[in-house]
C-alpha cells in the first residue's frame, strides 16, 4: 500500500496518484498536500475508537519479530553485583506491558462518560518526541532520530546502559541482557545488553508503507501524516467530541497525539502504571532547560572577549 | 612599572582557579553523561547522588561550558593583546590549546545537536560523541604529564 507519507513514495506515485490515494480514504493515511521527508510524521490516536482487540499488538510482533533480541546464555558475570540482569527471553509472550519483545500494548481504564461506566483501551508505545531525550542524551549515538521524526535505537551499537530509559519521561525503552556490542568489548565491566522500543516500523515507512499497527487496526484508531496536519485533525476531533489532547505539548511536543473523551488526568488515575506501563501525566520539556542555555554558550566568548579588551584598555591607559 | 615587567606570571591565581574549577566540573559532569557513576557506587557517596541524575549533570555541564568558553576567549585575547610580547606558548601549551579547541568545537556541535529541529547525520553524531570523549581523555593525559613534569602553558621570551 503506497501511502503518501514520504517523498519517496510521493515521487514514485506522482502527485496525481497520491491525491487519488488520499481521496480513496484508505484508513490510517492522512491526506498530505506537500509530502516532505524532512517533516516529522505524527500519529493521531482516537482513543474512543479503540476496542482493545490487540490486532495492532499482533501486527507489531509479526512485523518486528526479526528485530527482537536473541541473547546468548549464560550471561556474562557482571561487576559490580548490583548490575541487574534483565532477561525477557523466557517471557516473550508477556503482552500486558512493554518489554524488549513487546513494543506496544493496550492499557485499560475504567472511566465514567456521560454518567455511565465505560472501559477505554489505549494503545501505548514510544511517543516519538519531537526532541527526544533518549536520542539526544545517548552517550554513543546509538539512539537516533530520523528526518521524519521517528526515533529508534540501533541494536548493533547500543550497549544497554539504560540511560535512554531513565531520561525518557515515560521510561519506554526496555533492556535485554546478553545481546549486543557490549559482549565484544568488556561484558563484565561495561554495558548490559541492548535497549528496545517501538521504531514505528521505520523500514516500512521508508518504503512508503504504513506502520504495521496502523495498517492492521480494524477500527482506524490511528492516522499518520505530517505533524502540523495531524495536530489540526486532533484539534478538530477534540472540538467535535468535546475531547482532550495528549502529546501535543508533553515533553516539548511528541509525534504521538492522543484524543480522549475524558480528561487525561482521569485516564492517568484509571490506568495501571509501573514498570513497562507508562503514565499519562503532563510532562515538562525535559530538554528545554539545558537548551535554554545554548544561546548563552554562543554569547559567552563575547563576554570573555569584552573583559579582556577592558583589561587591555586599562593597562594601556595605566602605562601611558 | 611597565605592563611587561609587572605581568611576568603566566596566569593569575584567580584565573588559575577559575580554569581548574571549570575544567573539573566539565570533566566530572562530562563523564556523568555515561551511566557509570551509579553502577560503580560513586553516586552512593553522600553528596554525590546528583552525579546519577543525567539532566542535572547535563545542565551543570552546560553551565561550566559557558564559563569555560568565556574564560577561553578572555585568555586568548589577553595573551594576544598583552602577554605575547613578554611570553611565548610552549609546545605542551600548543598541544593543550589544540585539544581544548577540539573539545569546544565538538561540544558546540553537540549543543546544536540537542536543539529541537537539529538535523545532523547519525554517523556524524557518533563521530562527535567519540571525538569529544577521546579529546577529553587525551587532554587529561597531557595535563597529567604537564603536572608531573611541571610544563607550563607559556614561558618567558
pLDDT surpasses 80 at A250: yes
Average pLDDT of chain A to the nearest whole number: 88
pLDDT surpasses 50 at A5: no
**Mean pLDDT, rounded, for B130-149:** 96
B2-41 residues touching A, CB cutoff 8 A:
2-3, 33-36, 39-41
Give the containing element (helix H, strand E) for B19: helix B13-31
- Most confidently predicted of A21-30, A51-60, A304-313: A51-60
Cβ pair B116:A147 closer than 8 A: no
pLDDT tens across B76-123, in order? 999 998 888 889 999 999 999 999 999 999 999 999 999 998 889 999
**Mean pLDDT, rounded, for B4-11:** 53
B38-77 residues touching A, CB cutoff 8 A:
39-41, 54-55, 58-59, 62-63, 65-67, 69-77
Cβ pair A137:B2 closer than 8 A: no
Q: What is the DSSP string of chain A?
A: ---S-SHHHHHHHHHHHHHHHHHHT-TTBPP-SS--TTSPEEEEEEGGG-----HHHHHHHHHHGGGS----SSPPP-SSTTSPP---TT-TT--SS-BTTBS-EEEEEEEEETTEEEEEEEEE----BSS-HHHHT-TTS-EEE-TTS-EEE-TTT-----HHHHHSTT---EEESS-SGGGGS-TTTS--SEEE---TTHHHHHTTPPPHHHHH-TT--EEEEEHHHHHHHHHHHHHHHT-EEESSSGGG-BSEEEEESS-HHHHHHHS--BTTB--------TTHHHHTTHHHHHHHHHHHHHHHHHHHHHHHHHH-
- Rounded to 10 deg, the angle between the B91-114 and A294-319 helix axes is 140
pLDDT tens across A193-247, in order? 999 999 999 999 999 999 999 999 999 999 999 999 999 999 999 999 999 999 9
Q: Which residue has the higher pLDDT, A139 or A114?
A: A139
In chain A, the number of structural domains is: 1
The shortest C-alpha distance from A169 to chain B (Å) reads: 12
Instruction: Please return the burial class of B14, using the count of CB atoms within 10 Å of its CB with bins 0-12, 13-18 and 19+.
Output: exposed
- CB-defined contacts A:B, below 8 A: 126
Domain containing residue A268: 7-286
**Mean pLDDT, rounded, for A112-132:** 94
- Nearest Cβ partner of B122 from A144, A307, A308? A144
**Mean pLDDT, rounded, for A178-188:** 94
pLDDT of residue B9: 59
Q: What is the DSSP string of A130-146?
A: SS-HHHHT-TTS-EEE-
pLDDT tens across A50-61, in order? 999 999 999 999
What residue of B is the nearest CA neighbor of A131? B116
pLDDT of residue A38: 58
**Mean pLDDT, rounded, for A255-279:** 97
Cβ pair A296:B59 closer than 8 A: no
- Nearest Cβ partner of B74 from A131, A289, A304? A304
Give the strand pairing for A256-260 and A41-46: parallel
The shortest C-alpha distance from B70 to chain A (Å) reads: 4
Cβ pair B62:A297 closer than 8 A: yes
- Nearest residue to A228 via CA among A9, A45, A39: A39
CA dihedral B78, B79, B83, B88 (to 10 degrees): 170
How large a percentage of chain A has pLDDT more than 90? 78
pLDDT of residue A104: 98
pLDDT of residue A315: 83
- Nearest Cβ partner of B54 from A157, A167, A253? A167
- Asked if B138 contacts B103 with a C-beta cutoff of 8 angstroms, the reply is no
Confidence of residue B20 (pLDDT cuts 50, 70, 90): very high
- Nearest residue to A135 via CA among A149, A123, A124: A149
Three-state secondary structure call for residue B46: coil
pLDDT of residue B44: 96
Give the containing element (helix H, strand E) for B28: helix B13-31
How large a percentage of chain B has pLDDT more than 90? 80
**Mean pLDDT, rounded, for A291-298:** 90
pLDDT tens across A82-101, in order? 889 999 999 999 999 999 99
pLDDT surpasses 80 at A145: yes
**Mean pLDDT, rounded, for A56-71:** 97
d(C-alpha B84, C-alpha B105), whole Å: 24
pLDDT surpasses 50 at A257: yes
C-beta pairs of B11-15 under 8 Å, 24+ apart in sequence: B11/B75, B11/B153, B15/B71, B15/B75
User: Looking at the domain assignment, is residue A293 inside a domain?
Assistant: no
How large a percentage of chain A has pLDDT more than 70? 88
B120 touches chain A (CB under 8 A): no
pLDDT of residue A262: 95
- Model ipTM over 0.90: no
**Mean pLDDT, rounded, for B138-142:** 97
Q: Measured between beta carbons, which residues in chain A are less than 8 angstroms from residue B112?
A: 294
The CATH number for A87's domain is: 3.30.70.20
**Mean pLDDT, rounded, for A274-287:** 97
pLDDT of residue B10: 67
B125 touches chain A (CB under 8 A): yes
To test the contact with chain A by mutation, choose from B125, B128, B133 the residue with the greatest count of A C-beta atoms within 10 A, namely B125
To test the contact with chain B by mutation, choose from A80, A129, A139 the residue with the greatest count of B C-beta atoms within 10 A, namely A139
User: Of how many residues is chain A composed?
Assistant: 320
Amino acid at each position: 500500500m503506497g501511502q503518501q507519507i514520504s517523498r519517496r513514495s510521493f515521487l514514485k506515485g506522482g502527485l496525481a496518484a497520491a491525491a487519488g490515494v488520499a481521496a480513496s480514504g484508505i484508513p490510517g493515511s492522512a491526506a498530505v498536500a506537500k509530502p516532505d521527508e524532512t517533516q516529522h510524521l505524527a500519529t493521531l490516536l482516537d482513543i474512543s475508537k479503540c476496542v482493545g482487540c490487540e490486532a495492532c499488538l499482533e501486527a507489531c510482533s509479526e512485523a518486528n519479530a526479526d528485530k527482537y533480541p536473541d541473547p546468548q546464555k549464560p550471561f556474562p558475570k557482571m561487576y559490580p553485583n548490583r548490575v541487574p540482569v534483565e532477561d525477557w527471553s523466557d517471557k516473550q509472550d508477556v503482552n500486558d506491558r512493554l518489554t524488549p519483545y513487546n513494543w506496544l500494548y493496550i492499557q485499560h481504564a475504567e472511566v465514567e462518560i456521560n454518567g455511565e461506566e465505560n472501559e477505554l483501551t489505549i494503545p501505548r508505545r514510544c511517543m516519538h518526541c519531537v526532541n527526544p531525550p533518549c536520542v539526544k542524551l545517548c552517550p554513543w549515538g546509538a539512539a537516533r532520530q530520523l528526518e521524519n521524526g521517528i526515533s529508534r535505537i540501533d541494536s548493533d551499537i547500543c550497549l544497554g546502559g539504560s540511560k535512554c530509559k531513565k531520561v525518557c519521561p515515560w521510561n519506554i525503552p526496555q533492556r535485554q541482557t546478553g545481546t549486543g556490542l557490549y559482549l565484544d568489548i568488556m561484558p563484565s565491566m561495561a554495558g548490559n545488553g541492548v535497549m528496545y522500543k517501538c521504531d514505528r516500523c521505520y523500514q516500512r515507512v521508508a518504503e512508503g508503507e504504513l506502520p504495521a499497527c496502523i495498517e492492521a487496526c480494524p477500527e482506524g484508531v490511528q492516522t499518520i501524516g505530517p505533524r502540523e496536519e495531524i495536530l489540526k485533525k486532533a484539534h478538530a476531533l477534540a472540538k467535535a467530541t468535546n475531547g482532550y489532547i495528549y502529546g501535543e505539548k508533553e515533553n516539548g511536543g511528541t509525534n504521538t497525539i492522543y484524543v480522549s473523551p475524558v480528561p487525561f488526568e482521569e485516564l492517568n488515575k484509571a490506568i495501571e502504571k509501573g514498570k513497562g506501563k507508562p503514565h499519562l501525566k503532563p510532562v515538562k520539556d525535559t530538554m528545554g532547560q539545558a537548551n535554554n542555555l545554548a544561546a548563552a554558550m554562543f554569547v559567552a566568548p563575547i563576554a570573555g572577549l569584552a573583559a579582556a579588551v577592558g583589561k587591555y584598555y586599562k593597562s594601556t591607559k595605566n602605562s601611558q | 612599572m611597565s605592563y611587561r615587567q609587572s605581568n611576568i606570571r603566566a596566569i593569575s591565581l584567580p584565573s588559575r582557579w577559575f580554569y581548574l574549577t571549570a575544567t573539573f566540573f566539565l570533566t566530572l559532569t562530562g563523564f556523568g553523561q555515561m551511566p557509570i557513576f551509579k553502577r560503580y557506587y560513586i553516586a552512593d557517596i553522600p553528596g554525590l547522588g546528583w552525579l546519577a541524575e543525567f539532566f542535572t549533570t547535563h545542565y551543570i555541564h552546560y553551565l561550566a561550558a559557558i564559563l569555560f568558553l568565556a574564560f577561553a576567549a578572555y585568555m586568548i585575547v589577553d595573551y594576544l593583546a598583552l602577554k605575547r610580547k613578554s611570553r611565548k606558548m610552549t609546545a605542551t601549551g600548543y598541544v593543550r590549546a589544540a585539544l581544548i579547541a577540539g573539545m569546544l568545537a565538538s561540544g558546540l556541535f553537540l549543543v546544536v545537536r540537542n536543539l529541537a529541529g537539529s538535523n545532523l547525520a547519525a554517523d556524524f553524531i557518533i563521530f562527535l560523541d567519540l571525538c569529544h570523549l577521546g579529546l577529553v581523555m587525551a587532554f587529561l593525559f597531557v595535563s597529567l604529564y604537564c603536572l608531573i613534569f611541571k610544563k607550563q602553558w607559556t614561558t618567558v621570551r
